[in-house]
Structure 1
Amino acid sequence: MADHSLAHRAQNPTRTETMHLPPTSAPTNHGRTLAAWTTTWVVVLGGVVAGLGVALTFAWLFWVGLGVIAAGLILGKVLQVLGHGQGGAATIARAQRRGGH
């Protein structure tokens, strides 16, 4: 059994690990970008439509909901590529206009 008494810990200090920080700070928008919000809400809408399709036993509505989800994912990626995602040019410009956040 290991000795975890205060005297033992004082005589045998534990080693700490060296922390390596990233070279630059992370973006300060916490993921609140046009691409993220658009993707989130379109996917949620698609999930609701698919859920209604299951609840109402309409197979076609379920598949429409899944199509909306796929379209939302594609739309989010397109917006990210256009610079509206995390670290994108449009997001950085918008943050500078708003004062950093």
Structure 2
Amino acid sequence: MSDQSLAHRAQHATRTETVHLPAATPPVNHGKTVAGWTTAYGVVIGGLVASVGVVLALVWLFWAGLGLAVAALILGKVLQGLGYGQGGSHTVARDGRAGAH
């Protein structure tokens, strides 16, 4: 009779798990692109401006901050389309230069 306790099964694994790897290696820049940083900074600054507008009860400043955040999202998408996003031509060229990370 074999030992089927939880401790025995944890110490003596009897089956292996299947590993499903992606078909291609993902980009190694971890999103550190011109489009990514522009979008992130723009949205953070827009949110900061909007929050200052709420604190000071200035409706126009709140909407200006939201407008800045939306503009940053649009600018980031435009930069991605121009090749400055992940996998874009400018990003791949920059990553291929000597000393680039």
State the partner residue of 1:20.
20
C-alpha offsets along residues 21-67 of structure 1, whole Å, 9 cap, x if unaligned? 12221111111000000001111110111011000000010000000
Is 1:78 paired with 2:63?
no
CA contact (8 A) 1:28 1:100 kept: no
Which residue identity does 2:8 align to in structure 1? L
* Aligned length, in residue pairs: 98
Cα distance 1:71–1:8, how it changes in 2: closer, same or farther (>3 A)? closer
Q: What TM-score do you get using the length of structure 1 for normalisation?
A: 0.86
Which residue identity does 2:68 align to in structure 1? V
Q: What TM-score do you get using the length of structure 2 for normalisation?
A: 0.86
Is 1:32 paired with 2:32?
yes
Cα distance 1:15–1:7, how it changes in 2: closer, same or farther (>3 A)? closer
C-alpha offsets along residues 72-92 of structure 1, whole Å, 9 cap, x if unaligned? 000000000111001111100
Runs of 4 or more consecutive aligned structure 1 residues displaced over 6 Å after TM superposition: none
